[in-house]
Structure 1
């Protein structure tokens, strides 16, 4: 009887099987510095999600006898409040954790609404063209011509300043930037030979859009998202500063900055702590978005 030999895969086939795909492949491209940024952003998101478990005090509980205590390390600090207290004796650490949670939730939901609306209108304007594209771009021009803060004030004055209204208002901010950039990219990509070949082969519009066009315009969309995300945090801060954002005593990072503006000369930590958190989160998102722009750009592969 002839002895059979087991099939041994070649090194090339083994390498192909071990080749990471998707998120794993993206993670392998990231260097140590970028992985650190991802880790820090993940920690911030985790801290925001677990704010009810991590906060040492009720963020709205007032203790007037402990008001205006500085953070630990400064003269007059209290060991019971690591980041000090505000003008009403509320724990700054607890309010910062809860404020980070709500601010990130508002910014993420608002930026997703803006991205979805702007990208959809941009793709329709660029791919369909004609009167539909002209009407969409006319709306873009109107949005650019009118300061959005005035539009936000009008909407909030009519519908109130509840949280759903605030998220919707923030979601309508910046969609025109997506629409203009996506339309320009779609017009450019739709003239490329591989798209024209797909059209000649009779491929349906859905396949052309999702298989050939959208992957080639994902890079500028990510860049715009990273820019608008921090802008939406600042928009929420501006509305809270005017008293039109999330109403007290609910804490957001923007409302904390607004409430601490009267104490910048004497008790600067009330506004400085949430301001630093806003700056840190925005910087992380911008750095990661700048790297994703190159990592996900199919033109560079």
Structure 2
């Protein structure tokens, strides 16, 4: 029998230093923003960061969930999430930043708004607003691009099949989606702001739908992303993720979706927004 899902690391006590006393230095703060890919990898990534930043504590704040949008309300089935840009997460992170914590942020899964019909230029403006909220925290920002697959002229049957499965209420045309992905990736590629670093493309790890990372390669994905985030604190990875940890992360995601967000049998964790 599997163990019960672990508590979120944001609420853990400060890690002890080598002499047995808590670190006096302010904890590192990690802001995680995304949708389904982040939700699946969240527990594993949190575990990775906590281990690799030890003995210093890390506080992790996340706004995520399947179908989550940055400027649109999104979700799946009976689960609905408010737009990330309006999240109270930023206010919570500000309190941590004012205490002297260095903030590192991951901005990922940024394509859902396009399938909800948002104009690409509007999404760019929304993303810039998110970046500004993170700039106000003096955060080091890492962002992932959209799958290059959707920049291509894929067959209408493939596009409509993926849209019907993942966005059943969407009526967005293939032309709108393709132009949107091209616009967003071009915007990220041409960005000259040194405070925003684009993570090297992760397309090789995507599964059959070209949207979600393959379970079998998810360990590689989150080791790469985690190592990139560590560089924001000038740290090197020492403890890589292993596949069993990824399986637990997927299980934890299902537990959150069912018990916390769908049935609401347990309260939402204080660090999840």
Bigger proportion of residues as helix: 1
User: Over alpha carbons, which structure has the higher Rg?
Assistant: 1
Bigger proportion of residues as strand: 2
- TM-score w.r.t. structure 2 length? 0.32
- TM-score w.r.t. structure 1 length? 0.30
